[in-house]
């Protein structure tokens, strides 16, 4: 892991392997460790960069609101700092996917392909957005202790909760160690994010979409609709998983990712 100075803050970044770069961007309220199985599988052939976003993991926290655009600009600055000039494969999960649409909007020239896992293109309804602001207020008052039990039934498939206690416990620890201010700032940023749907037809890079078969936050049917709206897209549903498919069924996810990355080299 290295610490990089970006816009007057320090971001913790994993940088492993050699080859065409793949940027792994975690979901909410997690950190780069949610990609541990992909780091192992992809870094044998690729340079894998997996940052902790501002406010998460061991990166510095900024209070207030952190927009998806701010996260996207941080990622471009991370690539600058690592002197990565070649185009990257951007791979984001859920909030990492929301940041991905902004990354495309703002830094298109840095992209060769995208992998969007368990994510959405639409913005929030008023009700969802209000819920995020309530959660932001609650986490600032009480800390993150209530979040795992509130989110786990949606983050994990029943099978994962029953048979993969190690994954569930590690995710709990990650969330409990996350700064309340960082969580609140990202929630406020997600609440105000824009709808990426009108942009989908202009996404002129190949996109792989991966959905956990039991995902209720970003359901497979909705991700199939995103794929249908993109010019060049492949949609894959992964069984035995819900919203955290790369953690829940890493073998299946790694296989489709490696196949997609390999096809891009031909």
Q: Which residues bind ligand MLT (CB under 6 A)?
A: 27-28, 94-95, 190, 217, 243
Q: By C-beta, is 47 or 120 nearer to ligand MLT?
A: 120
Compute the least distance from the CB of residue 189 to ligand MLT, in Å.
11
Compute the least distance from the CB of residue 98 to ligand MLT, in Å.
7
Q: By C-beta, is 188 or 243 nearer to ligand MLT?
A: 243
Compute the least distance from the CB of residue 5 to ligand MLT, in Å.
26
Q: By C-beta, is 85 or 127 nearer to ligand MLT?
A: 127
Compute the least distance from the CB of residue 248 to ligand MLT, in Å.
13
Compute the least distance from the CB of residue 190 to ligand MLT, in Å.
6
Q: By C-beta, is 70 or 243 nearer to ligand MLT?
A: 243
Q: By C-beta, is 46 or 186 nearer to ligand MLT?
A: 186
CB 90, CB 84: distance < 8 Å: no
């Amino acid at each position: 892991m290295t610490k990089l100075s970006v816009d007057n803050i320090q971001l913790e970044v994993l940088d492993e392997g050699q080859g065409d770069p793949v940027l792994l961007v975690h979901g909410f309220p997690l950190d780069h460790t949610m990609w541990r199985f992909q780091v192992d599988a992809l870094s044998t052939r690729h340079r894998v960069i997996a940052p902790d976003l501002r406010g998460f993991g061991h990166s510095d926290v900024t209070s207030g609101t952190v927009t998806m655009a701010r996260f996207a600009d941080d990622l471009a600055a991370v690539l600058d700092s690592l002197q990565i000039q070649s185009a990257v494969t951007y791979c984001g999960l859920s909030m990492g996917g929301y940041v991905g649409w902004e990354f495309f909007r703002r830094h298109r020239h840095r992209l060769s392909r995208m992998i969007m896992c368990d994510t959405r293109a639409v913005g929030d309804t008023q009700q969802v957005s209000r819920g995020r602001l309530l959660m932001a207020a609650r986490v600032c008052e009480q800390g993150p202790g209530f979040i795992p039990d509130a989110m786990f039934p949606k983050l994990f498939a029943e099978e994962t909760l029953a048979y993969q206690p190690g994954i569930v416990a590690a995710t709990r620890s990650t969330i409990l160690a996350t700064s309340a201010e960082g969580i609140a700032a990202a929630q406020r940023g997600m609440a105000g994010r824009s709808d990426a749907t009108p942009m989908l037809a202009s996404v002129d890079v190949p996109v792989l979409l991966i959905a956990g078969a039991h995902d209720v936050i970003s359901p497979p049917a909705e991700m199939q609709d995103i794929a249908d709206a993109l010019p060049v897209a492949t949609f894959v549903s992964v069984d035995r998983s819900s919203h955290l498919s790369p953690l829940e069924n890493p073998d299946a996810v790694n296989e489709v990712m490696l196949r997609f990355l390999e096809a891009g080299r031909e």
